[in-house]
Amino acid sequence: MKIKLAAFLALAVVSLAATASRAESLVNGSAEAGKAKSLTCAACHGAEGNSANPLWPNIAGQNAPYLHTQLMAFKSGQRQNALMSSQAMMLSDQDMADLAVHYERLPIAAQSVADADLIARGEALYRGGDKAKGTPACLACHGPTGRGNPAAKYPALKGQHATYTALQLRAYADGSRVSVGKVKMMGAIAARLSQEDIEAVASYIQGLK
């Protein structure tokens, strides 16, 4: 019930967040300064925020509030990753804000679905959830086109590597990744997905445009 209520409330503010101008970021940072500070980030995430390795996330077009929150979590140890934690430790709060705003303004690289055979199941889960398992639709928080919800710090998903998305869903499911912030529903949601469901929804998300 709590998951369904949280999903409903998130859906109620998606349309409001979607109307916010990308030029008016919710994070107080400088895109110009962020670009100058992004050289190290480019080694893994690409010069324009679109990584060549599907194990590493695309961060171009990701909303700044989410990016900023994740960088702070890596620095504090709330989110664990040896490489990212070491990089975040060297960043000031302003550095993180600048980087977040910089990447928010970069275009997301369009991709096709990872596996066309899974598109029907992936779309059904993303848009309608699974009532039998009590799994809410992904779009309730992440939006119908996967643009996320900056005000709620829910990430954009569109164009994200299917490999990376599947890894994160499995991490949420087994508890090795925990949601950052007050709303911690991803673990419960991911735990209700089968491995086939995870592959299907991750593939569908990669192809969102």
* Residue-wise DSSP of 97-141: HHHHHHHHTSPPPP---S-GGGHHHHHHHHHH-BTTTTBPPTHHH
Residue-level pLDDT at 5: 47
Distance CA 79, CA 125 (A): 27
**What is the CATH classification number for the domain harbouring 57?**
1.10.760.10
Residue 48 in any domain: the answer is yes
Residue 96 in any domain: the answer is yes
83 and 50: one domain?
Answer: yes
pTM score: 0.88
Residue-level pLDDT at 17: 44
Residue 24 in any domain: the answer is no
Residue-level pLDDT at 23: 54
C-beta separation of 127 from 77 below 8 A: no
Of 193, 204, 69, 178, nearest in space to 130 by CA = 193
Count of domains forming the chain = 2
Residue 42 in any domain: the answer is yes
12 and 52: one domain?
Answer: no
Residue-level pLDDT at 179: 92
Residue-level pLDDT at 3: 53
Last residue of a domain, one of 104, 120, 136: 104
Domain housing 191: 2-19+110-206
Terminal Cα-to-Cα distance of the chain (whole angstroms): 31
142 and 94: one domain?
Answer: no
Residue 26 in any domain: the answer is no
* Residue-wise DSSP of the chain: -HHHHHHHHHHHHHHHHHTS-TTS-SS---HHHHHHT-HHHHHHH-TTS--SSTTS---TT--HHHHHHHHHHHHHTSS--HHHHHHHTT--HHHHHHHHHHHHTSPPPP---S-GGGHHHHHHHHHH-BTTTTBPPTHHHH-TTS--BGGGTBPP-TT--HHHHHHHHHHHHHTSS---SS---HHHHHHTS-HHHHHHHHHHHHT--
123 and 189: one domain?
Answer: yes
179 and 157: one domain?
Answer: yes
Residue 195 in any domain: the answer is yes
| pLDDT by residue, tens only, the chain of 209 residues | 555 545 444 444 444 444 444 457 999 999 999 999 999 999 999 999 999 999 999 999 999 999 999 999 999 999 999 999 999 999 999 999 999 999 999 999 888 888 989 999 999 999 999 999 999 999 999 999 999 999 999 999 999 999 999 999 999 999 999 998 777 899 999 999 999 999 999 999 999 98
164 and 179: one domain?
Answer: yes
202 and 118: one domain?
Answer: yes
149 and 171: one domain?
Answer: yes
Which residues have C-beta within 8 Å of that of residue 153, sequence separation ≥ 6?
63, 65, 66, 69, 181
Residue-level pLDDT at 198: 98
